[in-house]
C-alpha cells in the first residue's frame, strides 16, 4: 500500500525494471514500491520526496519541487543517475498511473513544460543529493510527469508529479448574492458519479436575459450533488458506517480536479448519502440510551464534509431494506423507529451549525433531504409514514386523525411496531423530546421525488373523495419556509437512445405515465411547473444529469438540457427570454450507460 496525494492508501502493481540499452520497448515499472509504515531507509539508494517518503504521487503546487536521492543504509558509494526521457515509455507510465488511480483523466506533461537535471551525482561523503524539478507554464488540463531515475541500467526510484492547471473562472462572483425566486429558482443537479463527470454540470451557463446580455451570465446550477456515498452496516462494530464506492472515491480523492472547478464558480458541491440494502438506514438507528449509533454516524458524515472540502450533504432514505418484522433475522439492526432521523439530523446540525446572517457564498454546512423513503411524508418510495410530521396522533389513531395508512387493518408489521411504541405511555418523555426537533427548520432544502408522485410539502395522501390531507407538513416547515426550502419539480433527467437512434429523455420520467404499471410522472410537466409556481417554491432538483456528446452518429448533436431549463423558467412564470449554453470542455471520462 502506498499513499497518494490525499493521504489515502491504495495498492499498486509492482513496477517493471527499465532496460535502456536493448532493442525491446522499455517497461519502466517494476521495482518494489514503498509499503505503508515501512521506513524509507533501505540498503539501496532511494529516490524520494522529503516528508512523503512512503508515497510516489505528489501534487505540484506552483513552485519548484525538490526531491532527494539518498544513499542506502550503511552505503558510501559514488554514482551518477539520469532520468528516463523516452516519450513512449513515459506515456505508457501515465496510462498505468491513470489505471491505478481509476481516473482516466491524465495526460503526459509536455517535455517543454518542465526541466530536470541532466545528471544527478551522489558522492561517497554525502548522504543525499537534491533533485530539483521545475514545471514551466503548463497548459490548461490535468497532467502527470513520471520521474524514473536510473543508474547503470538499474532503476533507483519512480515518482509521479500531478500537474493540474485549471483556468481562472470568468464568472462574476456577485451572482452568489442573488436572491432566488419562483421564476429564477435555485437549480440543483444530482450527478451519478458511476457514469458521469460532475465537472460538466459546471459548464452549463444561464443568461436570464438572453445571450445578448452577457453581463447577467451565471452558472445554471447553484448546487451539484455527488451521487452517492452509502450508509453500510459494520458487522464487527454493529454500527452504521460511511462507505465510498470506487466512483465516489475517484472524485473525492481527486477533489482539486473534479470538485474545485465547480466551487471556484460559486457552485455548492454536496455529497449524497443513501442506505445500501443492508437493513440499516437513517430511519432505524437506535434511539435508546446514549444514542451512540446516531452521534457516531453524524460525526462520520461531518468529518467527510470537512476532509473533502464539501459544502454539505443530501440524504436519500432509499434502499435500506429495513427489517419488516421485529423477529427479522437482521443482527444488530433495530426496527424503523420514531425519532431516528430526527435525532440524527439534529446531531449533524449541532456539528454544522447555521451561523446567523451567514451569506450563501459562505455556506459549507448545507443539510438537505431528497424527500423519499418510509420516514418522510412523501408518498413515493414506500413512504407516507409521516414520521417527520411529529403528529403522533395520526400514528396512534389512523383515519380518525387524518390518514388511513395507520389503520390497524392496513398497517404492516414494521408500522405496527412504530405504532405500538408511539402509543406506549412510557415513551412520552422521548416523544416530547422528538417533538422539539423541527426537521423542517433544520433542513436547508427538501426536494421531492415527484417524477413518480406529485406530493406537495403538506400532502400526506388522498382520501376516497379525492380530498387532499393538507395538515401534515414536515415538523417546523411553515408555508413561508416551504417556499424557500421545498422543491416540487424533481425532474428525472435520464436519457436514452430512441427508436430512431436519437438521444432523448427517458419517456417514463419525462412524460405522464398513463400505464398504471409504469413508474413515471403522474402529471404533465406543464402541470408540475404550474404547481411549483402556485406554491411559491424557490428550488428545483434535477436528478441524473448526464453526459451529452457534442457529436452523435457522425452528426452534430442537440443537447436537450439547453432547451429544458429555459422551458422550466418560463413554466414557472418567467417573462424574459432566458438562454442556457454549454461552455467549456465536455468531459466524457466515464461514459453514460445509455451510450454504451
Question: Which of 426, 389, 384, 377 lies closest to 407, judged by CA?
Answer: 384
Question: Which of 505, 566, 495 lies closest to 220, judged by CA?
Answer: 566
Q: How is 169-185 classified by DSSP, letter by letter?
A: P---GGGGGPPP-SSS-
Q: Is the dihedral of CA 215, 221, 223, 228 positive or negative?
A: negative
- The answer to whether 345 and 442 have CB atoms below 8 angstroms apart is yes
Q: How is 432-477 classified by DSSP, letter by letter?
A: HHHHT--HHHH-SEEEE-TTT----TT---B-TTS-B--S-PPTT-
- The answer to whether 539 and 568 have CB atoms below 8 angstroms apart is no
User: CA 133, CA 113: separation in Å to the nearest integer?
Assistant: 11
Residue with C-alpha cell 436537450? 560
User: 155-189: string of b/e by CB count within 10 Å (b at 16+)?
Assistant: bbbbbbbbbbbeeeeebeeebbeeebebbbbbbbb
From 318, 329, 492, 496, the catalytic residue:
318
Q: Which three cell numbers stand for residue 537?
A: 417554491
User: CA 527, CA 513: separation in Å to the nearest integer?
Assistant: 14
Cis peptide before 160 (omega within 30 of 0): no
Question: Which of 287, 273, 215 lies closest to 243, judged by CA?
Answer: 273
Q: What is the DSSP letter of 391?
A: -
User: CA 105, CA 590: separation in Å to the nearest integer?
Assistant: 10
Residue with C-alpha cell 456515498? 229
Is-catalytic flag, 195? no
From the centroid of its chain, how far is CA 318?
Answer: 16
User: CA 185, CA 188: separation in Å to the nearest integer?
Assistant: 9
Question: Which of 153, 204, 174 lies closest to 30, judged by CA?
Answer: 153
Q: How far apart are the first and last CA of the chain?
A: 33
- The answer to whether 80 and 127 have CB atoms below 8 angstroms apart is no
The backbone torsions φ and ψ at residue 529, rounded to the nearest 5 degrees and listed phi first, read -60, -40
Q: Which positions are catalytic?
A: 318
Amino acid at each position: 500500500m502506498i499513499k497518494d496525494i490525499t493521504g489515502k492508501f491504495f495498492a499498486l502493481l509492482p513496477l517493471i525494471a527499465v532496460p535502456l540499452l536493448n532493442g525491446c520497448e522499455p517497461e519502466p515499472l517494476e521495482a518494489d514500491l514503498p509499503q505503508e509504515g515501512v521506513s524509507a531507509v533501505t540498503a539501496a539508494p532511494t529516490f524520494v520526496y522529503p516528508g512523503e517518503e512512503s508515497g510516489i504521487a505528489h501534487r505540484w503546487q506552483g513552485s519548484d519541487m525538490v526531491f532527494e536521492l539518498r544513499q542506502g543504509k550503511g552505503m558510501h558509494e559514488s554514482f551518477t543517475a539520469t532520468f528516463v526521457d523516452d516519450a513512449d515509455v513515459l506515456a505508457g507510465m501515465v496510462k498505468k498511473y491513470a489505471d491505478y488511480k481509476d481516473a482516466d483523466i491524465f495526460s503526459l506533461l509536455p517535455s517543454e513544460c518542465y526541466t530536470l537535471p541532466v545528471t544527478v551525482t551522489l558522492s561517497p561523503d554525502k548522504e543525499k543529493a537534491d533533485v530539483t524539478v521545475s514545471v514551466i507554464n503548463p497548459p490548461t488540463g490535468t497532467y502527470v510527469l513520471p520521474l524514473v531515475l536510473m543508474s547503470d541500467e538499474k532503476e533507483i526510484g519512480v515518482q509521479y508529479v500531478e500537474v493540474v492547471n485549471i483556468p481562472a473562472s470568468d464568472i462574476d462572483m456577485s451572482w452568489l448574492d442573488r436572491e432566488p425566486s419562483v421564476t429564477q429558482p435555485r437549480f440543483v443537479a444530482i450527478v451519478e458519479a458511476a457514469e458521469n463527470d460532475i465537472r460538466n454540470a459546471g459548464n452549463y451557463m444561464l443568461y436570464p436575459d438572453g445571450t445578448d446580455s452577457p453581463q447577467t451570465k451565471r452558472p445554471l446550477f447553484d448546487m451539484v450533488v455527488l451521487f452517492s456515498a452509502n450508509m453500510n452496516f459494520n458487522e464487527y462494530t454493529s454500527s452504521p458506517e460511511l462507505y465510498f464506492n470506487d466512483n465516489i472515491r475517484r472524485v473525492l480523492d481527486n477533489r482539486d480536479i473534479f470538485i474545485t472547478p465547480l466551487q471556484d464558480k460559486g457552485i455548492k458541491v454536496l455529497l449524497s448519502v443513501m442506505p445500501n440494502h443492508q437493513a440499516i438506514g437513517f430511519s432505524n438507528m437506535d434511539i435508546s440510551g446514549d444514542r451512540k449509533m446516531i452521534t457516531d454516524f453524524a460525526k462520520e458524515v461531518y468529518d467527510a464534509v470537512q476532509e473533502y472540502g464539501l459544502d454539505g450533504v443530501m440524504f436519500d432514505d432509499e434502499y435500506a431494506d429495513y427489517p419488516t418484522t421485529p423477529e427479522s433475522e437482521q443482527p444488530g439492526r433495530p426496527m424503523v423507529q420514531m425519532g431516528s432521523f430526527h435525532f440524527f439530523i439534529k446531531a449533524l446540525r449541532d456539528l454544522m451549525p447555521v451561523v446567523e446572517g451567514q451569506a450563501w457564498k459562505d455556506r459549507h454546512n448545507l443539510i438537505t433531504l431528497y424527500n423519499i423513503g418510509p420516514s418522510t411524508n412523501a408518498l413515493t418510495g414506500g413512504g407516507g409514514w409521516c414520521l417527520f410530521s411529529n403528529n403522533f396522533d395520526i400514528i396512534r389513531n389512523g383515519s380518525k386523525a387524518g390518514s388511513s395508512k395507520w389503520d390497524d387493518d392496513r398497517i404492516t408489521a414494521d408500522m405496527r411496531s412504530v405504532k405500538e411504541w408511539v402509543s406506549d405511555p412510557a415513551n412520552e418523555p422521548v416523544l416530547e423530546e422528538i417533538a422539539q426537533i423541527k426537521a423542517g427548520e433544520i433542513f436547508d432544502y427538501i426536494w421531492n421525488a415527484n417524477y413518480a408522485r406529485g406530493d406537495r410539502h403538506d400532502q400526506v395522501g388522498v382520501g376516497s373523495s379525492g380530498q387532499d390531507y393538507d395538515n401534515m407538513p414536515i415538523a417546523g416547515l411553515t408555508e413561508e419556509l416551504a417556499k424557500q426550502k421545498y422543491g416540487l419539480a424533481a425532474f428525472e433527467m435520464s436519457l436514452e437512445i430512441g427508436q430512431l437512434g436519437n438521444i432523448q429523455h427517458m419517456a417514463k420520467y419525462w412524460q405522464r405515465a398513463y400505464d398504471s404499471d409504469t413508474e413515471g410522472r403522474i402529471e404533465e410537466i406543464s402541470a408540475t411547473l404550474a404547481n411549483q409556481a402556485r406554491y411559491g417554491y424557490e428550488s428545483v432538483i434535477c436528478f441524473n444529469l448526464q453526459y451529452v456528446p457534442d457529436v452523435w452518429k457522425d452528426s452534430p448533436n442537440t443537447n436537450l438540457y439547453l432547451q429544458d431549463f429555459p422551458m422550466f423558467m418560463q413554466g414557472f412564470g418567467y417573462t424574459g427570454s432566458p438562454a442556457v449554453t454549454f461552455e467549456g470542455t465536455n468531459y466524457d471520462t466515464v461514459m453514460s450507460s445509455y451510450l454504451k
